[in-house]
A and B are shown apart, each in its own frame.
Chain A
Amino acid sequence: MTFAEHPGDLLSAYIDGELSAGETAAIEGHLVGCPACRDELTATSWARQAMRRLPELELPFGVVERVLARERAKFLPVAWAGAAAAAVALAFLSLAAPQSATPPTVGRMVQVHAASTGGDPVSGLAPVAVPASFSK
């Protein structure tokens, strides 16, 4: 296989190792007798190297943070809606639930505590009478 004309586009593919063995041999055969293509090959290689030498860039500060903020903003209303729905459900359940037990009065709690401790743990005195007003 030989090239009667200049290989043109194939020169980059040749540099990149993207040609078959037959195409590679044909290009190399052409290059031997074609100074113009040799010059083009050199210039193309230079452009390729210039591209490949471009340094990696620093990601500007704030790009990642903006994405995070955007994601949080997107999910925040959902979170609030969830919390509100949970609160409504709790309120509904507490109203709908049967009031099976009467909450103990303060007086009753004082009586239970006095009976269990046997007196004032600080003064050592016998338990005082529960004020009448607490017993109601």
Chain B
Amino acid sequence: MAEEDIPTWEEVARRYGRFLYSVAYRLTGNADDAQDLVQEVLLRVRRGLSSYQPGSMEGWLSRIATNAFLDDVRRRNRRPVELLPEDLDRSAPGAPSADEALAAAVLSDDVQTALSRLPEEFRVAVVLCDVVGLSYAEIADRLGVPTGTVRSRIHRGRTMLRHALAGGAR
């Protein structure tokens, strides 16, 4: 493939910034972590752009974003897997930042609120399926789990979402 098909780092940042931020926001569930994740992804892109094989730039970026997110989760071990409380409601703890408030006004905030409160493993599976558009096999490969686990996480994640939305966020 011709070299000119590989965009510069600045072009990637400008052209795919919205996509990256959207994926990052869905994965992390808040604006601050999403911005940190985007920055980390852009740094990794800068280092790895020469090894990029022209093809699906969004697929490549989402892989980097997912890896960076999972690296961060493993490193910080910040949120152990827990069952979603039965009485999930809309009242998120703490005041939202200005960016979060802005983002909430732009997107479907009830869905985002419910999504943000999903346990991480379910949220990641649902986001990779419904936002990034990966197949179950691709998600399984990316997360290093069997396809049956992906199937279960996606269905349970969607079930939690609809219960949350029907129970108070709608």
CB distance from B64 to the nearest CB of A (A): 14
B117 at the A/B interface (Cβ < 8 Å)?
Answer: no
User: Knowing A50-B108, A64-B17 touch, does A57 contact B22 (C-beta < 8 A)?
Assistant: yes
Which residues between 38 and 73 of chain B lie within 8 Å of chain A, taking CB atoms?
Answer: 38-39, 42-43, 46
| Count of A interface residues, CB-CB < 8 Å | 30
User: Quick check: B159 and A44 within 8 Å, CB to CB?
Assistant: yes
Residues of B near any A CB (own CB < 8 A):
10, 13-14, 17-22, 25-26, 31, 35, 38-39, 42-43, 46, 99, 102-103, 106-108, 111-112, 115, 126-127, 129-131, 135-136, 151-152, 154-156, 158-159, 161-162, 165-166
What CA separation (Å) do A48 and B166 show in the bound complex?
14
User: Quick check: B22 and A56 within 8 Å, CB to CB?
Assistant: yes
User: Quick check: A48 and B158 within 8 Å, CB to CB?
Assistant: yes
Query: Which residues of A sit under 8 angstroms from B43, Cβ to Cβ?
Result: 67, 70-71
CB distance from B165 to the nearest CB of A (A): 7
- Chosen A-B contacts, 5 in total, with CB atoms closer than 8 Å, are A16-B129, A51-B131, A56-B22, A64-B10, A64-B42
8 closest pairs, A vs B, by CB?
Answer: A59-B17, A12-B155, A51-B130, A47-B162, A59-B21, A9-B155, A47-B158, A64-B13
User: Quick check: A51 and B136 within 8 Å, CB to CB?
Assistant: no
What CA separation (Å) do A43 and B159 show in the bound complex?
8
Query: Which residues of A sit under 8 angstroms from B126, Cβ to Cβ?
Result: 51
CB distance from B34 to the nearest CB of A (A): 8
User: Quick check: B18 and A51 within 8 Å, CB to CB?
Assistant: no
User: Quick check: B155 and A54 within 8 Å, CB to CB?
Assistant: no
What CA separation (Å) do A48 and B155 show in the bound complex?
10
User: Quick check: B135 and A60 within 8 Å, CB to CB?
Assistant: no
Residues of A near any B CB (own CB < 8 A):
8-13, 16, 18, 43-44, 46-48, 50-60, 63-64, 66-67, 70-71
Query: Which residues of B sit under 8 angstroms from A16, Cβ to Cβ?
Result: 129, 136, 154
Query: Which residues of A sit under 8 angstroms from B108, Cβ to Cβ?
Result: 50, 53-55
Contact of A56 among B19, B102, B162, B165 (CB under 8 A): B19
CB distance from B98 to the nearest CB of A (A): 10
Query: Which residues of A sit under 8 angstroms from B25, Cβ to Cβ?
Result: 57
User: Quick check: B161 and A47 within 8 Å, CB to CB?
Assistant: yes
What CA separation (Å) do A10 and B38 show in the bound complex?
33
User: Quick check: B38 and A59 within 8 Å, CB to CB?
Assistant: yes
Closest to A42 in B: B162
User: Quick check: B155 and A57 within 8 Å, CB to CB?
Assistant: no
User: Quick check: A71 and B136 within 8 Å, CB to CB?
Assistant: no
User: Quick check: B115 and A51 within 8 Å, CB to CB?
Assistant: yes
Contact of B159 among A18, A47, A50, A55 (CB under 8 A): A47
Contact of A18 among B35, B135, B152 (CB under 8 A): B135
